[in-house]
Amino acid sequence: MIEQLNPQQYRPMEVDIASLIETIAGGRAVLFVGSGFARNAIALDGSTFPTAEVLAREIGELGGVDADKDLRYASEKYLRMNSGEKLVDMLLEAFSVKEVLPHQTTIAAAPWRRIYTTNYDLVVEESAKRAGVRIESADIDDQPGDYLAKKNTCVHLNGSIRNLKAEDLNGRFKLTSSSYLSSETFNSSAWHFPFKRDLEMCTALVFVGYSLYDIEIQKILYENPDFIEKTFFVTAPNVSERERFTLAPFGNCLAIGAERFAEHITLYLQKFLLDRSVDLLTSFRKYELCEQKRAPRDADAERFLMVGDVSDALLETSLLTGEGAPLAVRRTDLNLAAEAAAKGRHVAIISDFGNGKSVFLRSLTILLVQKGNDVYVVDNPDDYNREDLEILAKSTKRAFLVIDSYDQHVDFLQHFTDLSPANITLLIAARTTKHERMQDTLSRLKIDV
């Protein structure tokens, strides 16, 4: 259990901030901001955004109640005695953005995979807008499917002032003393799984201005020890020892402040964006030749012929060295396909069920990699495929994409057509009947194989 953690066993780590910014430049990092991020932003009336304590006092004054410096208590007591219309008006005034600060713009406009926040305000969205970057707002009542394919999204886990109505005050809009995220609400929301998946898939998870009070977020971080090395908490330079103690089991503490963090982004980001590497791909699998080769035995050949089971190492040895039992044949068509692909022609491997198209495609992959080409395998339909494709398309390096059962990847192929990358060649395969049904689709997509 989390309460049994002993943070003393976690030694502070030296963080290479330049390497962190390089990771962010890859477009796979996730940003999570709390109230500290929005601090000192200017509201419509010219005042700075209120802290939880100040907001509690203002709600108390609005309703003629004693707030006792507790936002949850003040808001709940107010709503028991009053309708929510005046409170909505006050919240819109308090959290509508007039001006943001330069460091907020720099951080928000970085190429994040996605942004999550427990804040009600739209400081992230407005800050990015100042830099010419459009970020869409989403609440946990919104359907993730409408946003997951988009890169610039800020998910407000506690609700936001976007389209705020009085009936939202007891629902999606959470007025809590520390921007507390209700675990029950979050667990039952459609965003619970995408959030966990973003944490699993991201190359870095950066918290800015967020105190880790939420037990549900703690549990998600703690359940996967792999998160620790890629999790970073940007805190105030004068962060307390208690705060360090709390954060230690969950990641690395960068006690430099949001302003200094933004300076590092300004210093390094553009350079790394120019050097953006395809090695940061997370959905495509780059095919690498096996270091350990093993000559096929008679039993391997029998298993291959009977059930079609053969490892990459065995197939590589048979194709590239010819050692051991005669497992795979270097067919003439295999060389023809390799020559066509090398000339930039898309290649389709078509056959009936069980006739060897997948092995042919794997063999073609091996031959191309053996000649020094970069070959990437698209294993499953995935929203991240499109982002990897965009990275490859922006690279000047030549690449080959391998897609078995390509009829299951129509949306991806549509995105390929939209990008029309001149440096990428498709190597696809399908059963004969499915390929025949796909002829009109391929023609519409202008993919000539």
pLDDT digits (tens, 9 = 90+) for 121-141: 899 999 999 999 999 999 888
| CB neighbours of residue 160 within 10 Å | 24
What number of other Cβ atoms are within 10 A of residue 421's Cβ? 17
Concatenated DSSP letters for 292-361? S-----HHHHHHHHHH----HHHHHHHHHT--SS------HHHHHHHHHHHTT--EEEEE-TTSSHHHHH
Range with the poorest average pLDDT among 61-70, 216-225, 367-376: 216-225
Q: What is the pLDDT of residue 27?
A: 81
Q: What is the DSSP pairing of strand 374-377 with strand 285-286?
A: antiparallel
CA–CA distance, 251 with 249 (Å, rounded to integer): 6
- The whole-number pLDDT of residue 23 equals 84
Q: Where in the chain is the domain with CATH 3.40.50.1220?
A: 11-41+100-276
| 285-444, CATH topology level | Rossmann fold (3.40.50)
> Mean pLDDT lowest for which of 94-103, 163-172, 332-341?
163-172
CATH 3.40.50.1220 fits 11-41+100-276, yes or no: yes
**Which pLDDT does position 417 carry in this prediction?**
92
At 4, is the pLDDT very low, low, confident or very high (cuts 50, 70, 90)? very low
Q: Is 40 left (phi over 0), alpha (psi -120 to 50) or beta?
A: left
Question: Above 80 in pLDDT, residue 53?
Answer: no
Q: Mean pLDDT score of the chain, rounded to an integer? A: 83
Residue 9 clears pLDDT 60, i.e. is over it? no
User: What's the confidence (pLDDT) of residue 178?
Assistant: 33
Q: Residue 32 is which amino acid?
A: F
347 vs 224, residue with greater confidence: 347
